[in-house]
Structure 1
Amino acid sequence: MFIQNLDTKQQSALLYLAKEVMNADDQLHESEGEILSILASQVHASVSPESVSVDEMSTLFDTNASQVSLLLELIGVAHADGDYHHEENALIKKYADAMNVSEEKLLQIEGWVSKQLSLSIEVQELLA
């Protein structure tokens, strides 16, 4: 949903980091694979996952828009299986810290994702 705010290098890092988040709880769920496929379909055609170190994140994601967009997408991936596992949360917090995103702002981003997930569930019930 926010991938358009990222350049191709950032999109490559997003795909890599999304896999890292998915693997953080040592359990791969089908829904997480589906989310990764959706992300891959939304990035530029030339983009493939590219490793990025935590130390490089603040340089690569150097604007508020790119940082928030990345975190929104990663938190969405973490919620894909219906369980925002503490290991996934810890990894996302580590990424936020690396980009100098405050804990307060991260909580706001997490809250927004939670609201969106609730609304998605609600609309699915309306559509049923």
Structure 2
Amino acid sequence: MENRRRFIGHAVSLALSLVGGATLIGCGGNGGGSKTGTLADSTANPDKDALARFGGNCDDFSKLKEKDYEVRKNLGYQKSSPTEETQCQHCNLWLPPREKESCGGCTLFTGPIEPQGTCTYWAPRQS
């Protein structure tokens, strides 16, 4: 029962975040008429968005902004999963590390993601 409540709470939180982001895009994002750095850019160039989600090496948080940390926290990201089955590297949302990098990324948030990490939105890989 408690897991269901927590899941519903996270789902509502994510939905509200997505609606808020869509509202910003519809309003021009940054108020200056330019859409640089908004979700509109990432939908126009999805490869650029996927690359931006990587932080490179596990301890490199230089590209993260305060908002990025908040998203990671809200999605329940942890550097270490309690079970091997729910590790990020086994998740459908996992972006494997690029060449010469130690950490991968995630389609949900920005920055380095430990292969052994986890979050509340972990989803089994589709085969």
* TM-score relative to the length of structure 1: 0.27
Higher helix share: 1
Q: Whose relative contact order is higher, 1 or 2, with alpha carbons under 8 Å and at least 6 apart?
A: 1
* TM-score relative to the length of structure 2: 0.27
From the CA coordinates, give the structure whose radius of gyration is larger: 2
